[in-house]
């Protein structure tokens, strides 16, 4: 495996050191990324780092130790354009090599957007970059490539699914065309493999293809065993890819399968109950995959059920359910080894502001601080300092431009 690709695949689990603590909080309790305002001292202090759960600071014997407070959500700069229809499947936000975040396309309730924006985590502002050429799109995939460019594939333009693909160059701030996929796709997945190629799956035909950044071309690979749509695709620690879910199908279980890039073969990986799509799938530190929530078409409602897939045994097991059933949601791993599930939607009830933390060791969920604005179909991106930015999405009032930081 090439070192550059290994480094990039590990990027989401790494973050820069926190800024110095102890400075007074700014007006409104605002602190730099990675710090939170301590109500006890009115100073900016650090939150626990990756191993602090195992090795907590003893504030009774260390008078200079920072006061540790719960991580919280604070408002940050708004997007220039309200937009939604981003979730774990349609992850149309990506952290670039320089630490900034690119958001592209989306839907604002009346138009399919061509606009793209860059978030600066230092200035905490969004700036427009070149618009997507060829018209607006939503439900497309966005993948950071080893060379630092961003691959956008497929999507929907308001009339039909798209097969076209684009490359964004963060250095020049421009888009260019690259090879077209063999099939138009929406609500598909695009997973960067350890060999540098990108695996494209779903929407909903049972076929798959590979994008090669070196040649800028797509080639067909072995078809999937099942049709997948609004599914999840997770790169496992062994370099294989787990695909889960059959969006749109009224079936009693959700099928899963594993792709082996070495042999280009798919292997069935069993089923989970109930059937679901628009769920989350998160790779845990122990190599297992946590599948949480999602929409069950059999009951026309979202679920709280959670499952664990163990690549070592190829078996599924159940784990503690979410406190709140939810779909159209985002989840990611925090530097402390816990999984964060953010917002979402409960069919027939409401958009959710609630946030939950999963502890893979205890196999339990706990409540985290809620979002300031309830939202679904939003972005969620881990920044280099360990904070999380959530942007856009939709609520009961329509498309959102607001953004929040969890730190």
CB-based contact 44:371 (threshold 8 Å): no
pLDDT tens for 318-328 read 999 999 999 99
Going from the C-alpha of 146 to that of each of 115, 163, 194, 383, the distances in angstroms are 24, 22, 10, 18
Half-sphere exposure of residue 9: CA atoms within 13 angstroms, side-chain side? 21
CA separation for the pair 198, 200 (Å, rounded): 6
Domains and CATH numbers, the chain: 76-81+91-326 (2.120.10.80)
Least confident of 96-100, 218-222, 261-265, 297-301: 297-301
Which pLDDT band holds residue 11 (cuts at 50, 70, 90)? very low
Q: How many residues does the chain have?
A: 407
pLDDT at 9: 43
In DSSP notation, 379-406 reads EEEE-TTS-EEEE--EETTEE---EEEE
- Mean pLDDT across 36-41: 53
- Mean pLDDT across 344-363: 94
**SS3 state of residue 117:** strand
pLDDT at 257 over 90: yes
Which pLDDT band holds residue 252 (cuts at 50, 70, 90)? low
- Look at the alpha carbons of 354, 357, 362, 363 in this order and tell me if their dihedral is positive or negative: positive
Which pLDDT band holds residue 253 (cuts at 50, 70, 90)? confident
Which residue matches tokens 């059999």?
A: 298
- Mean pLDDT across 185-196: 96
Least confident of 88-97, 200-209, 226-235, 338-347: 88-97
pLDDT at 255: 87
The token pair at 353 is: 């502001």
């Amino acid at each position: 495996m090439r070192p550059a690709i290994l480094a990039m695949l590990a990027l989401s689990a790494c973050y820069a050191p926190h800024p110095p603590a102890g400075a007074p909080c700014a007006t409104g309790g605002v602190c730099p990324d990675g710090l939170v305002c301590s109500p006890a001292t009115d100073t900016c202090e650090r939150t626990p780092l990756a191993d602090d759960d195992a090795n907590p600071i003893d504030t009774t014997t260390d008078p200079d130790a920072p006061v540790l407070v719960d991580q919280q959500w604070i408002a940050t700069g708004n997007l220039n354009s309200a937009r939604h229809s981003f979730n774990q499947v349609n992850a149309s936000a990506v952290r670039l090599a320089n630490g900034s975040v690119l958001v592209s396309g989306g839907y604002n309730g009346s138009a399919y957007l061509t606009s793209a924006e860059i978030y600066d985590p230092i200035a905490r502002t969004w700036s427009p970059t070149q618009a997507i050429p060829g018209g607006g799109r939503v439900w497309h995939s966005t993948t950071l490539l080893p060379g630092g460019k961003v691959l956008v594939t497929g999507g929907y333009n308001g009339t039909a699914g798209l097969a076209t693909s684009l490359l964004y160059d963060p250095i020049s701030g421009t888009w260019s065309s690259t090879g077209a996929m063999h099939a138009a796709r929406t609500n598909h997945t695009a997973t960067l493999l350890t060999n540098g190629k990108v695996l494209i799956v779903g929407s909903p035909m049972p076929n798959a293809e590979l994008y090669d950044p070196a040649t800028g071309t797509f080639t067909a690979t072995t078809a999937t065993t099942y049709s997948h749509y609004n599914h999840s695709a997770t790169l496992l620690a062994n370099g294989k890819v787990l695909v889960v879910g059959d969006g749109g199908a009224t079936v009693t279980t959700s099928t899963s399968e594993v792709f082996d890039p070495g042999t280009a073969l798919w292997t069935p990986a069993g089923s989970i109950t109930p059937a679901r799509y628009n769920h989350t799938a998160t790779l845990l530190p122990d190599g297992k995959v946590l599948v949480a929530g999602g929409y069950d078409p059999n009951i026309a409602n979202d679920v709280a059920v959670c499952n664990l897939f163990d690549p070592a045994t190829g078996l599924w097991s159940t784990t503690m359910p979410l406190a709140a059933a939810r779909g159209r949601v985002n989840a990611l791993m925090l530097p402390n080894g816990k999984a964060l599930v953010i917002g979402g939607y409960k069919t027939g009830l409401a958009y959710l502001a609630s946030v939950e933390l999963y502890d893979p060791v205890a196999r339990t969920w706990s409540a985290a601080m809620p979002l300031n604005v309830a939202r679904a179909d939003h972005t969620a991106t881990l920044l280099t300092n360990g904070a999380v930015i959530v942007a856009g999405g939709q609520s009961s009032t329509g498309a959102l431009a607001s953004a929040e930081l969890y730190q």
